[in-house]
């Protein structure tokens, strides 16, 4: 009860958070060759929007839940409830789970009672080797250890070895209620197949959530270096329009599985985006002389 009361009284609605705190533009801003039809930077994304059993909080297909008694134990034992779950307002999750969802209708969340150590493990993800540029793993978290000291970890499995890449000890960590993305350099994993695990440690802490996971390459194969200098696309998050500070001729917008959802000419450095659904998008800007730049942007 102490956590629920604190959350309800001390927090804000998830989408109002987006309105108050401008999300960081992902530094995946590069140019793409004019012959490239889709941006190749996004390797994997998961927003927890789809579930085969939303009424039971089932995570998306391919995600599995394990439990270990030590952090370095092999995750072989299945985790039973309580554990991580897909939280969707009015379907499954907390009584008032709106603060725990960053974009879309759902996020991956956990209460504060799952025993040590509860793992949510992604499907296998192949990390290609680009011609140049770093590969980044990014996720957003609703995490409030300054109230009750929740601890969690992120591990990556490659070559049959789990490596801890994020350690968040609640007594030492700061609040991050979807204010800033957490990033991990995956460049050492080029050419490998990996799995990612989010691991909750019981500390009688606070509920937490994970949303908008993505893996992207900052200079993907086939792109050129011919780009806009200092192009700014704003606001981010946006609602009904995107503006830029450069002379952009055309804008092409893709969802995170590479599907083109908008392709329009820009007028007065502004485009209307009212027809787009809420979510995360890859936005490609093209100049009259073939200049290209990519930004990752969020629609409220």
Kindly tell me if the per-residue pLDDT of 73 is higher than 70: yes
Mean pLDDT, range 264-285, rounded to an integer: 88
What CA–CA distance (Å, rounded) separates 119 from 78? 9
pLDDT of residue 53: 96
Q: For residue 141, what are the contacts with CB-CB under 8 A and spacing of at least 6?
A: 176, 178, 182, 208, 209, 210, 211
pLDDT at 31 over 60: no
* 240, 274 contact by CB (below 8 A): yes
- Cα(74)–Cα(268) distance, integer angstroms: 57
What would the two tokens of residue 83 be?
Answer: 């554990």
Query: According to the model, what pLDDT value does residue 1 have?
Result: 35
Q: Taking the chain, what is the end-to-end CA distance rounded to the nearest angstrom?
A: 31
* Percentage, residues of the chain above pLDDT 90: 53
How many CB atoms neighbour CB 110 within 10 A?
22
Provide the pLDDT for residue 298: 87
Q: Is there a contact between 127 and 217 (Cβ–Cβ < 8 Å)? A: no
Q: Which of 91, 110, 286, 82 is closest to 198 using CA atoms?
A: 110
pLDDT at 229: 63
- Measured distance CA(247)–CA(249) in Å, rounded: 7
Separation CA 260–CA 274 (nearest Å): 16
Across 40-54, 80-94, 173-187, 208-222, least confident range: 208-222
Report the SS3 class of residue 181: coil
Tokens of 147: 């109230």
Mean pLDDT of 275-288: 85
Highest-scoring range by mean pLDDT, 39-43, 218-222, 259-263: 259-263
CATH class entry, domain 2-21+41-217: mainly beta
Q: Stretch 224-235: mean pLDDT, rounded?
A: 68
pLDDT tens-digit readout, 114-138:
999 999 999 999 999 887 778 999 9
Q: CA 251, CA 69: separation in Å to the nearest integer?
A: 51
Instruction: Write out the DSSP string of 197-244.
Output: EEEEE-SS---EEEEEEEEEESS-TT--S---TT--EE-SSBSSEEEE
CA 261, CA 275: separation in Å to the nearest integer?
Answer: 10
5 three-class SS: helix
What values do phi and psi take at 7, rounded to 5?
A: -65, -45
Say if residue 278's pLDDT is above 70.
yes
Structure tokens at 65: 């839940």
The predicted model gives 12-22 an average pLDDT of 32
């Amino acid at each position: 009860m102490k956590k629920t009361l604190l959350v309800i009284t001390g927090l804000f609605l998830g989408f109002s958070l987006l309105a108050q705190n401008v999300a960081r533009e992902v530094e995946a801003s590069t140019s793409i060759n004019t012959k490239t039809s889709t941006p190749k930077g996004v390797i994997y994304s998961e927003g927890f929007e789809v579930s085969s059993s939303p009424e039971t909080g089932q995570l998306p297909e391919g995600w599995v839940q394990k439990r270990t008694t030590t952090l370095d134990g092999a995750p072989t034992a299945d985790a039973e409830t309580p554990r991580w779950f897909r939280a969707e307002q009015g379907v499954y999750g907390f009584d008032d789970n709106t603060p725990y969802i960053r974009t879309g209708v759902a996020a991956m969340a956990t209460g504060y009672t799952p025993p040590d150590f509860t793992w949510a493990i992604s499907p296998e993800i192949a990390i290609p080797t680009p011609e140049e540029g770093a590969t980044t793993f990014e996720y957003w978290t609703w995490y409030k250890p300054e109230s009750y000291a929740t601890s969690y970890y992120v591990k990556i499995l490659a070559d049959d070895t789990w490596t801890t890449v994020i350690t968040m000890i609640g007594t030492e960590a700061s609040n991050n209620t979807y204010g800033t993305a957490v990033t991990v350099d995956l460049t050492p994993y080029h050419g490998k197949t990996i799995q990612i695990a989010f691991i909750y440690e019981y500390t009688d802490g606070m509920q937490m959530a994970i949303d908008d996971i993505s893996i992207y390459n900052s200079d993907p194969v086939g792109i050129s270096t011919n780009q806009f200098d200092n192009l700014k696309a704003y606001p981010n998050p946006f609602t009904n329009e995107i503006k830029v500070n450069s002379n952009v001729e055309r804008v092409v917008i893709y969802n995170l599985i590479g599907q083109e959802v908008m392709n329009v000419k820009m007028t007065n450095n502004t485009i209307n985006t009212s027809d787009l659904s809420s979510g995360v998008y890859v936005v490609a800007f093209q100049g009259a002389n073939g200049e290209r730049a990519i930004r990752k942007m969020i629609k409220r």
